[in-house]
Amino acid sequence: MIDTVAFGGAVAMLAGSLDAWIWVIPGLLIGLVFGALPGISVSMAMALVLPATLYMDFLPAIIFLTSVYTGAGFGGSIPAVLINIPGTSSAVATTFDGYPMARQGRHNEALGAALFASCIGVLISYLILLMLVQPIAEVVLRIGPFEMAAIGIWGMVLLGSIGGSTVAKGLFAAGLGILLGTVGMNTAGYMRGDMGIPWLLDGVPTIPAMVGLLAASQLFALVNAKFIVESKEARRISLRRILAGGAMVLRHPVTLLRGAGIGVFVGAVPGIGSSIANLLSYGETKRSAADPENFGKGEVRGVIAAESANSSSEGGSMATMLALGIPGGGATAILLAAFAMHNIVGGPRFMEQSRDVVYAIILSNFAQAAVLVVVGTIFVYGASTIVRLPLRFLIPSVLVVSTMGAFAIEGSIAGPITLFAFAVLGWLLSRYGFPVAAVVVGLLLGRLIETEMLRAWQLAGGDPWYVLNYPWAMAIVALMVVSLSFSLRRDFRRRRALRSAASPG
């Protein structure tokens, strides 16, 4: 599976070039800062530094950009844990348990767990990439609308697992999110729900809506509190506790490996990427846990599941980009642009002719993951001081930065308006016990599921049995059904055990 001659060439290439290494730490730091800024996406951070790579050699340029990619992948989880703002869309699921942990004064442990899960996730994904780059690419080529729709529906099913105060409220919120995700013009050309507003034709701006729902709504609810962490004792920033959080990751190897597996597979599928991988991994971890009721209340396994999946999706999307020349998302599209700037075309021929360079990129990412442990720990230590800031300063400041981030994404007032509308909606939803996270997931998946269902419908000519011709889609649905039935059976047994324990005699 590994071409040993090319592998040796890659080692020699990295060992003999200082240029290949000096950009790793600056790249990671840039990624961490930009990833931690709400509204500045991974791809935007990479786009901003892309011109700087023009005068570098090819390998240092790609290593610099992948360092930014790796740093930003983790950077998004810092505001997700500390202030409930997913710095990037791939950190949504990190907020579900990371923020409750921070509110309980366990921000050190949450950030440590997120950092170590991210670093190990990157390592695992590149290890898989090193071994299986070609087979992964071949599988990706077989994924069509039926399979994509099945993945989307898998994600939708997990919406049921994001509980509110009642199941009906959870489903109501999820349905609302899916409907919001279908606003605008669909791929068949029908315009719905745009209310005559031109910018709604492209749909509800997802990132401002997400930041509004998750973060701004929480900030409104905190107006009467003094600090994010109420207890003065718990506000301490401790390197020992950050590292203890990292050690928790090693105590949950199944959660970590499942997250990494989902991340690599989903990340490799063009157009889905890390935004969905973290949600799928979180949902699967919660569903398969013996104590799912603890999730959403500050359960470290939720953080590990989300972070291992979103960081390992980097390796998956790199597999598609390197082997097929297809960018899975914005970040890999910028990497391909960097290839083009150096007159190199990614894809099968590049894989065949420059396998040593491919191995060098993969090997340098191992090093990046290791360096991220150190750089990330120092960064997290500094970023954690946010819990010591009084909320009367933090609330208006974060609302302003989120507004500017929303403007940066849309390039118009559409972003801030969306942010405000969804902040109010999110505040009211959480006030009345509806799970805001379910609306966010529905919003992210609504458009994807509709698009893929439409393509599948068109391919099948309206015949639902046509899906039988797509064994991969059937396999995904079968996996989903088996996993669901196991969790239902376990739920049923637990309830029966609780009933028998409660009954007298």
Binding site for other proteins (CB under 8 A): 40, 48, 166, 168-169, 171-172, 175-176, 178-179, 182-183, 186, 188, 190-193, 216, 219-221, 223-224, 390-393, 395-397, 399-401, 403-404, 407-408, 411-413, 416-417, 419-420, 423-424, 427-428, 432-433, 446, 449-450, 453-454, 457-458, 462
Contact 86, 99 (CB under 8 A): no
Written as six digits, the tokens of 141 are 């080529």
* Separation of first and last alpha carbons in the chain: 63
Written as six digits, the tokens of 386 are 């946010």
Closest by Cα among 448, 487, 142, 44 to 283: 487
Shortest Cβ 232–other proteins spacing (Å): 18
The letter for the amino acid at 243 is L
Shortest Cβ 393–other proteins spacing (Å): 7
Shortest Cβ 171–other proteins spacing (Å): 6
Q: Would you list the DSSP string of 151-211?
A: HHHHHHHHHTTS--SSHHHHHHHHHHHHHHHT-EE-TTS-EES-TT-GGGGG-S-HHHHHH
Shortest Cβ 227–other proteins spacing (Å): 11
490's CB contacts (< 8 A; 6+ apart) are 290
Q: Looking at beta carbons only, is 243 or 459 nearer to other proteins?
A: 459
Spacing of C-alpha 489 from chain mean position: 29
Q: Looking at beta carbons only, is 17 or 104 nearer to other proteins?
A: 104
Long-range contacts of 8-11 (CB under 8 A, 24+ apart): 9/356, 9/359, 10/356, 10/357, 10/358, 10/359, 10/360, 10/362, 10/363, 11/363
Shortest Cβ 429–other proteins spacing (Å): 8
**3-state SS, residue 295:** coil
Shortest Cβ 399–other proteins spacing (Å): 6
Q: Looking at beta carbons only, is 10 or 449 nearer to other proteins?
A: 449
Shortest Cβ 210–other proteins spacing (Å): 17
Q: Looking at beta carbons only, is 353 or 458 nearer to other proteins?
A: 458
Q: Looking at beta carbons only, is 20 or 449 nearer to other proteins?
A: 449
Q: Looking at beta carbons only, is 16 or 411 nearer to other proteins?
A: 411
Shortest Cβ 188–other proteins spacing (Å): 4
Distance CA 121, CA 292 (A): 23
Spacing of C-alpha 203 from chain mean position: 21
Shortest Cβ 367–other proteins spacing (Å): 28
Distance CA 78, CA 447 (A): 27
Closest by Cα among 109, 117, 105 to 74: 117
Q: Count other C-beta atoms under 10 Å from residue 486's C-beta.
A: 12
Q: Looking at beta carbons only, is 228 or 242 nearer to other proteins?
A: 228
Q: Count other C-beta atoms under 10 Å from residue 8's C-beta.
A: 12
Q: Looking at beta carbons only, is 58 or 199 nearer to other proteins?
A: 199
